[in-house]
Amino acid sequence: MRLGPDGRRRMTLIGTFAAAVILAIMPFPTWAEPFRPDWIGLVLIYWCLAIPERVSVGTGWLLGFIQDILYGSLLGSNALAKTLVAFLAVRLHLQLRMFPRWQQAVSVLGLLVANQLLVLWIRGAIGQAPETISYWTPSIVGALLWPWLFVILRDLRRRGGIA
Amino acid sequence: MINVFGRSIGAPSHLTRLVLLSALSVALMMLDHRGHHLEKIRAGLNVLAYPIQIIASAPAYIGRGIADFFTTRGTLREDNEKLLAERQSLLARLQQFEPLEQENRRLRQMLVSAALVADKAIAAELVEVSSEPFTRKVVVAKGSQDGVYVGQSVIDAHGVMGQVTQVAGHVSRVTLITDAGHAIPVLNNRSGLRALVFGTGNPDTVKVPYLTANADIKEGDLLVSSGMGGTFPPGYPVARVVKIVNDPNEAFLAITAKPAAQLNHGKQVLLIWRGNVPQSGGKSK
């Protein structure tokens, strides 16, 4: 299949988001479940930092909405959280781009925690808050993975011809 | 401003869009939670989600297929022997069960109370996808086309697993008794004490709140479904009490129990149609 530069760009974006969605619902053994990072959130943050003029709150909302459907969670809860994450990432993208990699990871941790906190509040409001401290591990795992994920996605972005 | 597909649109600022989309999300949440107005829409969206679920569960499915293929003859024979032995012991127990059931029916007739009607159960395969982190839900490969309805009880060979909370055409989502939003009315099998079993979000513990220090409950007690509230059929094992902590500073006992059903493994569940409740939805098979 031959694609123009525009098509390649589009495929790269959709491809990475699709991979994140699949990874988010891929079956995991129960003991490993708390260690699954928020793939959708991570990929969303990356693209918001890289091309904020194309990927921002709208994409965030759409991804969160897809997540809500696939997770069977309260419709709109993840959509709201992802919208906020995208907004913050776009707002801070100039600073975050300048940060050394580890400092960037710390900021990403902040964004992921904000995302989880918002979801926790919503779930608490409807009486379904989980009572375990391991609720926060996905954010920590996500932040630890960030430096590697960043390199992989940057590579894909360059190969896809996205400036 | 250019959108995700590189087309230019005269879009408002990020902040405006944030506010608009947040308002939209909040409205959706209200509609979904308060009025349950979105059942139809959600069912439709779940149909669209089905292919994604199939793709996501494919690697596990294929992996299991390969593992099955390489199962040795020895393992199969061992399994077979084990199953035969298990069947023998179950049949032996069933012999006692039948006269007991007869006796129970006679006694109930004497008491002029409604006879217990046998429940109908249908096995359903699990679709191997994960639900939202830290919720305890599973997806099963039976939907409204098979007559599955919201609120239907789900069990396995060992006890109550949970209830159906969302139904689409070919799949439905089951909330397990360990989910933080789930509660089930139970009876203590030993003392007849009524209680509620709440999920905690932990994969293998549930809690029994609101019991005071003088309640007749001990470690090791089996809690069975009481049938109160009408959602669950009575008499199925729910959980076994593992720990009771009596903290004098607290008004209630802190009781931890372990679900009787094997919630975290197994590939199949049983959907129950109550014997005395009219079945909703058409049966295709």
Q: pLDDT at residue B112 above 70?
A: no
User: Could B202 and A57 be called an inter-chain contact, meaning their C-beta atoms sit closer than 8 Å?
Assistant: no
- Residue B167 CA to residue A73 CA, distance in Å, equals 13
Chain A hits for B6, CB-CB cut-off 8 Å, are 6, 9-10, 54
Q: Which CATH number goes with the domain that contains A62?
A: 1.10.1760
pLDDT of residue B256 exceeding 90, the answer is yes
Q: Nearest CA to A20 among A163, A159, A156?
A: A156
Q: Which residues of B11-26 are buried (b: 16+ CB within 10 A; e: fewer)?
A: eeebeebbeebbebbe
Backbone angle region of B194, left / alpha / beta, with phi > 0 → left and psi within -120 to 50 → alpha: beta
- Unique residue bearing structure tokens 């954010």: A139
Q: What is the DSSP string of A54-111?
A: TSSHHHHHHHHHHHHHHHT--TTHHHHHHHHHHHHHHHTHHHHHHS-HHHHHHHHHHH
Q: Does ipTM top 0.90?
A: no
**Confidence band for B234, pLDDT divided at 50, 70 and 90:** confident
The closest CB to that of B134, out of A84, A122, A130, belongs to A130
- Count CA atoms closer than 13 A to B34's CA, side-chain side: 6
Mean pLDDT of B57-79: 84
**pLDDT for the residue B279:** 41
Residue A29: partners with Cβ closer than 8 Å, 6 or more residues away: none
How large is the average pLDDT for residues A99-126?
A: 93
Which domain, by its residues, includes A116? Answer: 5-159
Of B157, B150, B194, B146, nearest in space to B175 by CA = B150
pTM over 0.95: no
List, for residues B150-207, the tens digit of each pLDDT value: 899 999 888 899 999 988 888 899 999 999 889 999 999 999 999 999 998 888 899 9
- Which among A22, A30, A87 has the least Cβ separation from residue B14? A87
CB atoms within 10 A of CB B105: 12
Encoding tokens for residue B82? 């084990």
CA atoms of B263 and B31, how far apart (whole Å): 31
pLDDT band at B133 (very low <50, low <70, confident <90, very high): confident
Confidence of residue A1 (pLDDT cuts 50, 70, 90): low
Identify the residue among A51, A83, A134 best suited for mutation to test binding to B, counting B beta carbons within 10 A and taking the highest.
A83
Q: Do the Cβ atoms of B132 and A72 come within 8 Å?
A: yes
Contacts of residue B148, Cβ cutoff 8 Å, sequence gap at least 6: B142, B164, B167, B172, B271, B281
For A46, B79, B165, the CA distances from B85, given in Å and listed in that order, are: 57, 10, 37
Pick from B28, B134, B173: CB nearest A75: B28
Q: For residue A37, how many C-alpha atoms fall within 13 Å in the half-sphere facing its CB?
A: 20
Give the burial string for A49-82 (b: 16+ CB within 10 Å, else e): bbbbebbbbbbbbbbbbbbbbbbbbbbbbbbbbb
pLDDT-derived band at B42, boundaries 50, 70, 90: confident
Three-state SS string over B150-211 comes to: CCCEEECCCCEEEEEEEECCCCEEEEECCCCCCEEEEEECCCCCEEEEEECCCCCCEECCCC
| Residue B255, helix vs strand vs coil | strand
Supply the pLDDT for residue A149. Answer: 95
Distances (CA, A) of A51 to A100, A149, B2, B3: 19, 16, 10, 10
pLDDT of amino acid B277: 44
- If one counts the domains in chain A, the total is 1
The residues that bridge with A75 in the sheet, in sequence order, are none
Q: Cβ contact (<8 Å) for A128 and B25?
A: no
Distance from CA of B231 to the nearest CA of A (A): 19
